[in-house]
């Protein structure tokens, strides 16, 4: 039996894993995605400034460091498994069931599912799927890829505008298409776009993707003016689709263990990360408590709190808080490796 089963491998789940390890607990992380890091994978190329004590760095580096830290105490990790039920069988005995038919037993559970399962809205056009491996993108993983390229961005939300902004001056050309007559993005960005070399095509959507001779890469895009029905064919090196995200968060609704909710989207935190069920804690974006800020930094703080509560639930005589890392013998051997760099 695991000491703690953590559902969700975003920043909250990963730090909960690390901190549970620091507190000597055996951990299992379960995430439906094929990689750890959670929502941070939505904006890997953006520069992160607001994690206390961390110099600004691209999010993909934050992902790397957070994952490394989360795996430090070698938790069990189950990826591409969606949790479909949480059951409290008895005190210190939970069952967590996944869509693969696995039933994991744990003494405690930490829910770190953020806003639920999020996936970019897919382009509903024939053959779109096959170009995903080449030049049809739903997330900008790295700006480098688009250097000196002709790029088409479809969408007018904040992410689409952000990418248009970031790529203009870097890509050879940026064309932004959107279905409405106006851009609905935030005002500052709209004004900025006016100054940038971004070609804007309102009332336009993608009608067809035309592949190269191998049919593995988009060569041209047939654009349709929604008002007039007129088609134009244009060549692009890369196509970025930014139509928002599909969110799915049925776990809490369907789960046998019924936690009190703060609202439709958030678990109610009692004090901090304690929920209405003993032994079941929640951290990160999924919990609401009075000290809540929807930040990575706050997810870390929640996670340590949840791990401390789980520890005390399993071992009531354990100290309420973990021992600080600077003086914690658990890092004695690992410190030798870290220190090598400085000697
Ligand atoms: C575009 C954007 C930019 C942002 N920029 C910043 C920033 O600059 N600074 C900052 O501090 N914050 C930023 N944030 C917010 C930050 O990303 C979140 O606060 C943080 O990711 C929350 O972490 P989490 O671990 O709670 O949830 P998430 O990161 O959402 O991770 C939850 C994980 O749970 C998994 N999951 C969900 N349901 C299930 C299930 N049933 N079974 C299995 N797995 C499941 C998901 O797959 C996911 O991996 C930004 C958010 C967005 C969208």
SS3 readout for 29-57: EEECCCCCCHHHHHCCCCEECCCCCCCCE
Determine the pLDDT at residue 229: 94
**Cβ of 70 below 6 Å from ligand 1:** no
Give yes or no for residue 70 having a pLDDT over 90: yes
pLDDT tens profile 140-172: 888 888 999 999 999 988 889 889 988 988 899
Give yes or no for residue 54 having a pLDDT over 80: yes
Q: In whole angstroms, give the CA distance from residue 248 to residue 267.
A: 15
Mean pLDDT of the chain: 93
What percent of the chain stands above pLDDT 70?
98
**Cβ of 296 below 6 Å from ligand 1:** yes
Beta strands 204-211 and 198-201 are unpaired
* Contact partners, residue 294, CB within 8 Å, separation at least 6: 285
Q: Average pLDDT for residues 200-218, to the nearest whole number?
A: 93
CA 133 to chain centre: 20
pLDDT tens profile 306-324: 999 999 999 999 999 999 9
Smallest CA separation from ligand 1 atom 10, residue = 295
Give yes or no for residue 100 having a pLDDT over 90: yes
Residues in the chain: 343
Q: Average pLDDT for residues 63-86, to the nearest whole number?
A: 97
Query: How far is the CA of 142 from the CAs of 59, 104, 159, 219, 310, in angstroms?
Result: 11, 37, 14, 21, 38
Strand partners, 221: 209, 234
79 C-alpha to center of ligand 1: Å? 16
CA triplet 121, 127, 132: central angle to 5 degrees? 55
């Amino acid at each position: 039996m695991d000491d703690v089963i953590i559902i969700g491998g975003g920043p909250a789940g990963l730090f909960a894993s690390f901190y549970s390890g620091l507190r000597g607990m055996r951990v299992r992380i379960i995430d439906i995605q094929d990689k750890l890091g959670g929502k941070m994978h939505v904006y890997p190329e953006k520069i992160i400034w607001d994690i206390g004590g961390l110099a600004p760095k691209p999010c993909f580096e934050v992902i790397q460091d957070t994952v490394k830290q989360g795996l430090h105490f070698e938790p069990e990790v189950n990826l591409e498994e969606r949790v479909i039920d949480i059951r409290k069988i008895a005190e210190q005995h939970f069952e967590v069931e996944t869509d693969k038919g696995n039933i994991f037993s744990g003494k405690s559970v930490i829910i770190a599912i953020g806003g639920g399962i999020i996936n970019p809205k897919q382009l509903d056009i024939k053959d779109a799927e096959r170009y995903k491996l080449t030049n049809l993108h739903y997330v900008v993983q790295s700006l480098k890829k688009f250097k000196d390229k002709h790029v088409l961005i479809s969408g007018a939300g904040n992410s689409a505008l952000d990418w248009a902004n970031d790529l203009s001056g870097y890509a050879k050309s940026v064309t932004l298409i959107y279905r409405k007559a106006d851009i609905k993005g935030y005002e500052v960005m709209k004004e900025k776009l006016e100054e940038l070399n971004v070609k804007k095509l309102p009332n336009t959507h993608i009608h067809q993707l035309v592949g190269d001779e191998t049919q593995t890469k988009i060569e041209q895009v047939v654009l349709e003016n929604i008002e007039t029905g007129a088609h134009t064919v244009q060549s692009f090196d890369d196509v970025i689709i930014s139509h928002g995200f599909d969110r799915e968060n049925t776990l809490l609704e369907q789960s046998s263990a019924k936690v009190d909710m703060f609202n439709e989207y958030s678990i109610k935190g009692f004090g901090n990360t304690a929920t209405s069920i003993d032994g079941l804690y929640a951290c990160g974006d999924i919990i609401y408590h009075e000290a809540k800020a929807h930040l990575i930094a706050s997810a870390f703080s929640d996670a340590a709190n949840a791990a401390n509560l789980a520890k005390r639930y399993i071992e009531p005589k354990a100290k309420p808080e973990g021992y600080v890392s600077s003086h914690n013998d658990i890092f004695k051997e690992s410190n030798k490796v870290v220190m090598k760099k400085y000697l």
